[in-house]
Chains A and B, each alone.
Chain A
Amino acid sequence: MTLDFARRVEVALRLNGHDLTTVVSPRTTLLDWLRDDIGLTGTKKGCNEGACGTCTVLVDGQRMNGCLTLVVQCAGRAVTTVEGLAGADGELHPVQRAFAEFDAFQCGYCTPGQLLSAVACIAEGHATDDASVREWMSGNICRCSSYPQITAAVLAAAHGRGQR
């Protein structure tokens, strides 16, 4: 069987609850597409090689590095970015509230990735104690070293605290 190789590919996916169709060059990463084509700049570019986690997004609910994912690999999938976390009325997600309450950032550059990773970490059932959160959040680097506050915020959100 012969396959047809294409230099432009149409991809239908769901982004933050909205269905859309896009045409991309196959080399386009999810990260670059979100920032440059769609204009959702909440997802940040750090190392661009999968080492820092600042581009973390959810694909079908699973956390992944946007820089290591091609848009063409997201066909038929649901992508959630930091812009999709808050409710339609702007009400912050419980994890966002917890990060604010526990001062879980300084410069904030890694925060979008930390938030998405935390949402997944909690959903996976890995936010049980300090050591577990540190292990399962290790894919998100914070150069300001807000790790104690991030750990506290993740645990608080997991246990339904951090909601005023």
Chain B
Amino acid sequence: MRDFAYARAVTAESAVGTLGDAGTSVLAGGTELLNWFRLGIAAADRVVDIGGLDELHGIDREGDDLRIGALATLTQIGEHPLVTGIAGALASACLQAASAQVRNRATIGGNVLQRTRCPYFRAEEPVPWPCNKRDRGSGCASVAGRHERQAIFGWTPDCVAVQPSDPAVALAALDARAEVLGPAGPRTIPMREFHLTQREAAVLGEPMRENRLEPDELITGYRLPVTTDGQAYLKVRERASYEYALVSAAAAVRLDGDRIAAARVALGSVAQRPWRLAGAEAELPGTALTREALMPVIERAMSEAAPLPQNGFKVTMARNAAVRALLMAGSAR
């Protein structure tokens, strides 16, 4: 890890004030940043530590919103009664992420900014193979190599990586908004639009951009509309615990009798952003909460998937995860 200079922020504004310099990194929990430094994914001359900012802590109900400070840890969110009561899918996603040790350090502000687990990307510098995220224009080793865990939506030949965050999937499904602070003041970004697929980034003219946060902006917290919808977060992985998702699904369901009145569902680890099944959500009201009734609706929503040669299984797995998450959410209240 290269040496860097360090300062503790005294206010959120004081931290933002240092970010105009591209060589400055924000330190919150550090669980991702320190590994970026070790691998050479990031190299900072200066690190500004926001960990001591009380204003970024806290989990509170504010009117019709649940507000979660950016420095709330995954443990705090997963165990907080307000979150388990209002945003059960988020609590579950937090507790299914990483390990107890990591969850005690990792913050919800940093979590959504974690980068792909693509092994070609996560190599120690000098990176021994092409990776456009590490070396712009070098190519993508994964397209020609192993890509069974990569995207089935929104990828381009330049990059097929997925965003691995569990909480981000729940935040997108629950229509959370990120509160961010920049030099010009605060603004909000809907979490279902926060991350960018490779295709969306290409349209913006910045093919390797991964989200809509500006380099000189800081996430200060999230707001989630209070809901009584039943919720679930289903994570499918190769071992029972402490593993990234092959696919995941977050769902929120309101029932009218035994039929769906309204439903929201987002898939994780299928694209470089949480993938809301908007088409299915429009079709689901009036549908019975049974596997047989849900399957064709989700099947249609999956028809736009574009799997790579090695990851066709993820289409089936994601379809089944979405159906199961909806069934779990519908039974959760």
Contact = CB atoms under 8 A, between A and B. Distances in A.
> How large, as a class, is the contact surface on chain A?
35 or more
Interface stretch (A36-44, A56-64, A78-86, A97-105): A56-64
Contacts of A56: 101
A25 B100 contact: no
A138 B5 contact: no
Given A5-B46, A9-B6, A49-B35, A121 B100 contact: yes
Nearest to A139: B99
A49 B100 CA distance: 15
A124 B98 CA distance: 17
A115 to B, nearest CB: 13
A58 to B, nearest CB: 10
A73 interface: yes
Contacts of A62: 75, 104
Interface string B29-45: 11100110110000000
A127 B186 CA distance: 43
B148 interface: no
B68 to A, nearest CB: 19
Contacts of A5: 5-7, 46, 48
Nearest to B105: A64
Contact of A73 (B49, B99, B104, B242): B49
A42 to B, nearest CB: 17
A38 B18 CA distance: 33
B312 interface: no
Given A1-B17, A6-B7, A25-B3, A68 B102 contact: yes
Nearest to B75: A62
A1 B13 contact: yes
B101 A139 contact: yes
A75 B241 CA distance: 32
A26 B4 contact: yes
B144 interface: no
B5 A26 contact: yes
Contacts of A96: none
A40 B225 CA distance: 48
A134 interface: yes
B5 A6 contact: yes
Contacts of B15: 3
A2 B51 contact: no
A138 B1 CA distance: 27
A73 B30 contact: yes
Nearest to B13: A1
B35 to A, nearest CB: 5
A50 B35 contact: yes
Interface string A106-144: 000000000001001100101000000011111110000
Contacts of B4: 7, 26-27
Contacts of A48: 38
Contacts of A117: 100-101
Contacts of B27: 70, 73
A135 B31 contact: no
Contacts of B13: 1
Contact of A29 (B34, B48, B49): B34
A63 B38 contact: no
Central interface residue in A67, A69, A137, by most chain B CB within 10 Å:
A69
Contacts of A27: 1-4, 37
Given A3-B48, A48-B38, A139 B30 contact: no
Q: Which 10 A-B pairs have the closest CB atoms?
A: A139-B99, A26-B6, A138-B241, A5-B5, A3-B7, A138-B242, A1-B14, A5-B7, A62-B104, A139-B101
